[in-house]
A and B are shown apart, each in its own frame.
Chain A
Amino acid sequence: MNATRRPKLELLSEPLADQIIDEGLTLLERHGVLVENAEALDLLQAAGAKVDRGTGVVRIPRRIVEAALATVPATITLYDRSGEQAFVVGGDEVHFDPGSAAVTMLDHGTQSERKATTADLVAFAKLADTLDHIHFQSTGLIATDVPSSIADAFRLYAGLCLSAKPVVTGTFRVEGFRPMKDMLAAVRGGDDGLRRKPLAIFDACPSPPLKWSNLTTQSLIDAARAGAPSELISMGMTGATSPTTIAGTLVQHVAESLSGVVIGQLAEAGSPIIFGGSPSSFDMRKGTTPMGAIETMMIDMAYAQLGKRLKMPTHAYMGLSDAKINDPQAGFETGLGAVLAALAGINVVSGPGMLDFESAMSLEKLVIDDGVCAMAYRLIEGIAQRDDPIALGVFEGFVPGMSFLTHPHTRRWYRTEHIQPGLVDRDPYEAWVAAGRTSIVDKAHTDVAKRLQAYASSPLPKAVRRELDDIMSGYARSLGAEFKPATLF
């Protein structure tokens, strides 16, 4: 039997990839990064980096970066809430999760964006829980009816209560990490349990060009010490906050990301870090950051290739769209992104459900995109040889006009070889007319309601839930905010 080739697409030639990494390292040595966090400056200085205390600029010699790359794990294993199901984040494994931190919801009824509330957050978490091809949940919506000071932790609280899937999340303020980590640890029965079986990924976003803010640096340090994976989200905008060429932006991406790897490894050697990002091809007409631009996807695929070359797990924001409603643009940008991300072997792909750059979440789109993800997973399974000989056995006893429908070979393999991807329309025309000429968006809207009705995720054990409520209450109290244990879930 011949081995199955897993389809893979690499955009950079090896020499070009090496030169980009080399220039990134030179950039760190020569110009350095601005670090606005005292603890990180101490760590960097102690490791031998040249720290200018006046400006906060740190020049990092290659040997420090190389030492960090030697200790950063190539693979991370995330576990679901029960601690039983494992997800390997590394190699060419691909896991989709909904795009995160949307500020608005696309309301299907009005076809307009509106602020999200706790009720939306609940619906979103429940829906993501029901979707088979969305492997991780994300704290993907900001509930505006919750005090903004506790909004970061509240998203995680809701997610942990409503779904067993691993979580992609992040902090909005320095104080936010502690209660979020405490809730995750509560689920695992303690800090050690969380370290052994990570449940959540924390996003850490450097500010382009070449700056680490206090918030994001602290999140990186805190996560490293808790053994929680951090996802580095470098986000140069070509020609605005990073060089306009794709290769030039990649150099900056490497420098920003590797300085993050250094900070994380200095905080705790061996701490899990994902080479991620949210760069974009800056639109020179509108001044916007299109995530659906083909050049954005090219940058994503290329930095993922570089991340793999550096033996790190990877992440990207792909499989999302800049469209404002679920129109053809929303579909093709999402489809292109999901397929290209899968072909690039990107480990964590955040995007499904998202519209309007990274700012709006659509429940209908999330359901539609689940089908897109199904197709992308199928694609990278590749074409397998199931039998040997491949087909000669099937043709034994061949007669002209023979049908394969009833052939045992068909029943043996059709479900493995072919998938039924979600809500796409495959009706004959007359059947489609008879069924009311519904679009995929209308079907999705109905499907959302059906799924929310059928949602039946097992709740958190009562004692754990009480712990989470207490952690949230304490956090809110410490900030003078009001928090009542949610009654919606």
Chain B
Amino acid sequence: MNKAEIFRQMSEAIVAGDREASRRLAEEAVRSGFDLPEVIEQGYVPGLQRVGELWEKGEYFLPELILSAEAMKSAMAVLEPALGRRTTSAMGGKLVIGTVEGDIHDIGKNLVASMLQAGGFEVFDLGADVKLERFVAKAEEVGAQLICLSALLTTTMAAQKRFIELLKDRGLRGKYKVLVGGAPASRKWADEIGADGYAENAVAAVKVAKSLAGRA
């Protein structure tokens, strides 16, 4: 099989959300000694882009989106160790994500985390009902660039605002880009509290995160 055909199959595996095929193709690429950054950028990433297009056209829904993200993760689990210290432009950097304190909703957050991971970010998911302090501690610990806060309730979204204030108090506001999301959040809200980014869905979140990380 030539490289172009393998790349096409990789893309297809992502579009089809086929975790098994995605992993198998990645293993084959490693075995064959392919240039792995090229494999990611020309094999898998076009698949993800296609998934994003299908979502935006209204043909793909959440289950397809999540399966595609899972397929991407299964490929990256094979490729990343083999890449060693090399990075590719498809790899995004580190980010910390979680649902803010007092809020136990995590379906939307999990989806965004999956998509960000599929989009090449190293994702540190703190789960739901996360104390604001923990976001900072984790970001400091792992050297993250981005911190993403989810809130599904109008009563808990205020924590997103408090988080920005917390960063300012610590003198860390300039160090991290902060993204906010969740049902009650909006562009306007993000501007009002001085967040760096807002996205209305998981596909848009990846775009915003990439642009904030200087990759778009």
Report the tally of A-B residue pairs with Cβ distances under 8 A. 25
Q: What are 21 sample pairs from A and B whose C-beta atoms fall under 8 A apart?
A: A103-B153, A103-B154, A103-B155, A104-B154, A113-B154, A115-B155, A142-B155, A239-B63, A240-B107, A284-B62, A284-B63, A285-B58, A285-B61, A285-B62, A286-B201, A287-B107, A287-B108, A287-B111, A288-B183, A359-B153, A359-B154
CB-based nearest B residue for A241: B107
Which residues of B, 130-160, contact A by the 8 Å Cβ criterion? 153-155
Assess the A115–B154 pair: CB atoms within 8 A: yes
Chain B: CB-nearest residue to A142: B155
The answer to whether B155 and A287 have CB atoms under 8 Å apart is no
Interface code B178-216, partner A: CB below 8 Å = 1, 0 otherwise?
000001000000000000000001000000000000000
Q: Which residue on chain A has the smallest CB distance to residue B105? A: A287
CA distance A440 to B183 in the complex (A): 29
A385 in contact (CB, < 8 A)? no
Query: CB-CB contacts of A350-390 with B at 8 A, as 1s and 0s?
Result: 00000000010000000000000000000000000000000
A329 proximal to B (CB < 8 A) = no
A104 to B62, CA, bound (A): 28
B interface residue numbers (CB < 8 A to A): 58, 61-63, 107-108, 111, 153-155, 183, 201
Which residues does chain A contribute within 8 Å of B58, judged by CB atoms?
A: 285
How far, in angstroms, from A24 to B154 measured CA to CA in the complex? Answer: 35
Q: Closest residue of chain B to A287, judged by CB?
A: B108
Q: Find chain A residues with CB under 8 A from B62 CB.
A: 284-285, 287
Q: How far is the CB of A100 from chain B (nearest CB, A)?
A: 16
Known A239-B63, A284-B62, A285-B61; contact A144-B155, beta-carbon cutoff 8 A: yes
Residue total for A at the interface (Cβ-Cβ under 8 A): 14
Determine the chain B residues whose CB is within 8 A of the CB of A286 once the complex forms.
201
**Secondary structure dominating the interface of A:** loop
Scan residues 115-145 of chain A and give those whose CB is less than 8 A from a CB of chain B.
115, 142, 144
Within the assembled complex, what's the spacing in Å between the Cα atoms of A284 and B183? 14
Contacts of B107 in A (CB 8 A): 240, 287
Q: Which of A104, A142, A285 has the most CB of B within 10 A?
A: A285
CA distance A142 to B58 in the complex (A): 37
Residues of B within 8 A of A113 (CB): 154
Contacts of A285 in B (CB 8 A): 58, 61-62
Query: What residues of A have a CB within 8 angstroms of the CB of B111 in the complex?
Result: 287
Residue-wise, chain A 134-168 has the 8 Å CB interface mask toward B (1 for contact) of: 00000000101000000000000000000000000
Alpha-carbon separation in the docked complex, A286 to B62 (Å): 8
A239 to B61, CA, bound (A): 12
Cα–Cα, bound, A143→B156 (Å): 15
Note all chain B residues with C-beta closer than 8 A to A239: 63
What is the CA–CA distance of A144 and B108 in the complex, to the nearest angstrom? 26
Question: Which residues 280-326 in A have Cβ within 8 Å of B in the complex?
Answer: 284-288
Q: Please tell me if the beta carbons of A284 and B61 are within 8 angstroms of each other in the complex.
A: yes
* Residues on B with beta carbons closer than 8 Å to the beta carbon of A144: 155
Nearest-neighbour CB distance to chain A for B102, whole angstroms, equals 9
| CB of B66, distance to nearest CB on chain A (Å) | 10
CB proximity of A377 to chain B, nearest CB, Å: 33
Q: Which chain A residues lie closer than 8 Å to B201 at the CB level?
A: 286
Kindly provide the distance from the CB of B37 to the nearest chain A CB, expressed in whole angstroms. Answer: 33
Kindly list the 3 A-B residue pairs having the minimum CB-CB distance in the complex, ordered from nearest. Answer: A284-B61, A284-B62, A287-B108
CB distance from B25 to the nearest CB of A (A): 27
Q: How far is the CA of A286 from the CA of B155 in the complex (A)?
A: 20
Task: Give residues 226-243 of A contacting B (CB, 8 Å).
Answer: 239-240
Whole-angstrom distance between the alpha carbons of A359 and B154 in the complex?
A: 9
Most buried by B among A113, A240, A287: A287
Which residue on A lies nearest to B153, using beta carbons? A103
